[in-house]
Structure 1
Amino acid sequence: MANSNLSNTKKAKNDEFYTQYHDIEKEIAAYIEYNPDVFRGKTLLLPCDDPEWSNFTKFFAQKFAELGLKKLISTSYAVDSKSYKSNYQPTLFETSDPQYDKNKTTKNGKIFTLSRDKSGDGKIDVNDLEWCYLKGDGDFCSDEIKKLRDEADIIITNPPFSLFRDFLAWIMEANKKFVIISNMNAITYKEVFPLIKNNRIWLGAGKNDGRNVWYQVPDNFENYHKEEGGKKYAFVAGTIWFTNIDHGRRHKLLPIMTEAEIIKFGTKSHLESMITMTQ
């Protein structure tokens, strides 16, 4: 079992943390509640992802028709290019496909797309996902992924925390809408705080209170905190959502204590000082 601070993970700069489905669903629901058509007719890009494992890909593929999406694009980063090395084994999904290539499976990233009813069952969903190998390793800074970024309307993902500054700059450079996750310390970054101050980005709709959030980790991952249903999970402190898409929580009035609540919960000295200030 791992130690509690995941120190080994940080040293290896392992960013293999898979966001849980219910956390994605809860966050996205807030944007839909505020604007039911927020995703309608839009092309979504899910970069820095692992489409075969990703709950982001699963969620938006299952909700494709309901959200009225135009196209879904999801890309992964090649195994050989990751700083964290693991005992990688390709999935049965990949190896059973005629286009499987034992050389490309570790050297190239993958791209999954969804835009049509491939199965012919009258609906577009996760069963209609199509995939192939990328020409490169899937680095978001590559021209190949930049082209996909430029095609997209909205970018949604859990990017590598260690590259958050670069990733956010990559999004802002193209003036794209986004919903992404990072550590709450990112608020203080010199590259991030001015964007918040100038109302160009803001916190997401979820509970951005720095609480610990559970993430699924790879099966061969040694630093984890619990195991349920044959899957390993680690909690990461202080992860929050960042976005530039409007949601209702931004417009809620801050709760203010009534006089009765001040009398009930405030100390005498505090109450007296407040009365003095109003006289």
Structure 2
Amino acid sequence: MAETAPTKTSKSGKKPSDSGAAVASRVKNQSLGKARDAKQDEFYTQLSDIERELKHYKKYFKNKVVYCNCDDPRVSNFFHYFSYNFDRLGLKKLVTTCYKSQHRDLFSQHDSEQAIHLAYCGGNAGTGVPDPEEIGIQYLKGDGDFRSEESLALLKEADIVVTNPPFSLFREYIAQLIQYDKKFLVVGNQNAISYKEIFNHIIENRMWLGNRSGDMAFQVPDHYEERETRFWVDENGQKWRSLGNACWFTNLDIAKRHEELILYKEYNPRDYPAYVNYDAIEVGKTSDIPANYPGAMGVPVTFLDKYNPDQFEILGSSRTLGQPMSQVAERGSYAQGGPRFYLANGDGTYQRLYDRIVIKNRMLKAS
């Protein structure tokens, strides 16, 4: 074997080829790899869940380019759905890309570590789901990261993005869609609502929850470790996990978003105590929102599943609005932690609550 000269390094320790772009690319690769490996972010959405949600958006897809940028067409149910319904939806084009395989034991059975790209323009009417191999799978030069130059070029050509992105990169993923002014419908975790960036998008009506939230089951790769809860293996040996707080996020308007929430409770100070560190009342359940209270109310995060922007205004959340308890009560009289609202227990101590969203009823005028 011929010897090669050692690579020179600069005083900074970087190789001469380590341009800013190259370093940034490696950082992206590492973060996406961590998202998929350490975070175990590969949750494969069931076709039935896709069908149940997508039926509410049919009018948006006519003559549009749909981009699924976290989907291997050989195994993706998003590709299955859109290719099978290509003509019924009136699509112009379907594009899918996926991050390169990092594990030989992934249930998708990748035989290559190259990222792939597929573009489908129809022509398979009445014959079922087209075979990706027959359409012509193309290999990307890069790794298929949704932030790569190749993926961004495809994103710019797309009208609507529909996929299940890595949950641990959700903030960055949504930020990219907002930046490029794309319509989208993506699977996520309701915990993402607590992210400052995501919540700000919701307040500004740049995104909202889709039609369905709650329990969803996902196929996961074989290398995922078993868990005591919300995990099972089916009769075919396929591993599954379920999430009780899965949901769809979108900026496509749907009828549910404008359904009036029927309110039947009446306000009284005993059932609706005021917080000690913010001027609002506590409403423990969305169904308990009083019909006659015009002021600020703290409601659970799950309220967003019923949120009608014509009926309610979102003012903020307990993470940003609550006054620090150190300015309100003596240390030791309350449970410490991140920003939250507190209620008085009546004995000099205070109860720390879960995250709350602060709303007002637009139909009522504050006195």
Question: In the alignment, is the contact (CA less than 8 A) between 1:42 and 1:71 conserved in 2?
Answer: yes
Equivalent residue for 2:344? none
Q: 1:154 aligns with which of 147, 150, 160?
A: 160
- SS for the counterpart of 1:179 is strand
SS in 2 for 1:40: coil
Q: Alpha-carbon deviations, 1:194-216, whole Å to 9, x = none? A: 1111111111111x2xx332111
Residue among 23, 41, 46 paired with 1:20: 46
- TM-score scaled by structure 2? 0.58
Q: Pick from 215, 224, 232: which aligns with 1:221?
A: 224
Match of 2:218, SS state, is strand
State the match for 1:75 in structure 2: 97
Q: 1:133 to 1:125 in 2, by over 3 A?
A: farther
Per-residue deviation, residues 8-34 of structure 1 (Å, max 9, x unmatched): x998111111011111111111123xx
Match of 1:266 in 2: none
Q: How many residues align?
A: 231
**Corresponding position: 1:201 with 2:207:** yes
Q: After TM superposition, give the deviation of residue 90 of structure 1 in Å.
A: 7.2
CA distance in 1, matches of 2:125, 2:247: 38
Deviations 1:86-120 (A, max 9, x none): 535874xx8xxxxxxx6xx11x2111221042xxx
- Return the structure number with greater relative CO, CA threshold 8 A, min gap 6: 1
Secondary structure at 2:79 match in 1: helix
Taking a change above 3 Å as real, the CA distance of residues 252 and 223 of structure 1, as seen in their structure-2 partners, is: same
* Separation in 1, partners of 2:108, 2:233: 22
CA 1:69/1:229 → structure 2, altered by over 3 Å: closer, same or farther?
A: farther
**How many angstroms does 1:218 deviate by?**
1.8
- Paired with 1:139 and 1:109, the residues of 2 have a C-alpha distance of 9
Q: 1:126 to 1:187 in 2, by over 3 A?
A: same
CA contact (8 A) 1:65 1:125 kept: no
Q: Distance in 1 between matches of 2:130 and 2:205?
A: 39
Q: Which structure's CA Rg is the greater one? A: 2
The one-letter amino acid paired with 2:243 is: V
CA-CA distance at 1:248 after TM superposition: 0.7
- 1:219 CA displacement: 3.3
* Contact map agreement 1:18 1:217 (CA 8 A) in 2: yes
Alpha-carbon separation, structure 2, partners of 1:134 and 1:157: 19
Structure 1 residue 167 displacement after superposition: 0.4
Larger fraction in helix: 1
8 Å contact from structure 2 (residues 106, 221) kept in 1: no
Does residue 178 of structure 2 align to residue 172 of structure 1?
A: yes
Moved over 2 A (4+): 85-91, 121-126, 219-224
The verdict on how the C-alpha distance between 1:127 and 1:200 changes in structure 2, with shifts beyond 3 A counting, is same
For residues 10 and 109 of structure 1, the distance between their equivalents in structure 2, rounded to whole angstroms, comes to 15
Q: Kindly, what percent of the aligned residue pairs are identical? A: 39
Pick the aligned partner of 2:239 from 232, 235, 238: 232
CA distance change for structure 1 residues 139 and 177 in 2, over 3 Å: closer, same or farther? same
Residue-by-residue CA offset, 1:19-62 (whole Å, 9 max, x unaligned) = 11111111111123xxxx31000000001122211111111111
Q: Tell me the residue number matched to 2:70.
A: 48
- 8 A contact 1:31–1:248 mirrored in 2: no
Distance in 2 between residues matched to 1:159 and 1:233, nearest whole Å: 18
State the distance in 2 between where 1:148 and 1:24 align: 22
The 8 Å contact of residues 77 and 109 in structure 1, kept in 2 or not, is answered as: yes
CA separation in 2, counterparts of 1:140 and 1:185? 22
Structure 1 residues 1-279: aligned runs within 5 Å: 12-32=38-58, 37-80=59-102, 85=103, 87-88=105-106, 91=109, 105-106=112-113, 108-117=114-123, 126-127=129-130, 129=132, 130=135, 131-206=137-212, 208=213, 211-223=214-226, 225-230=231-236, 231-257=238-264
Distance in 1 between residues matched to 2:94 and 2:221, nearest whole Å: 24
Q: Given that residues 116 and 140 in structure 2 are in contact (C-alpha distance below 8 angstroms), is that contact kept between their aligned partners in structure 1? A: yes
> Unpaired segments of 5 or more residues in structure 2?
1-34, 272-289, 294-367
Change (3 A) 1:115 1:125: farther
User: Which residues of structure 1 form unaligned runs of 5+?
Assistant: 1-8, 95-101, 263-268
Distance, in Å, in 1 between the alignment partners of 2:107 and 2:216 is 27
Q: Deviations over 1:231-269 (max 9, x none)?
A: 2211123111110001110011112238xxx8xxxxxx8
AA aligned to 1:68 is: G
Q: Which residue of structure 2 aligns with residue 6 of structure 1?
A: none
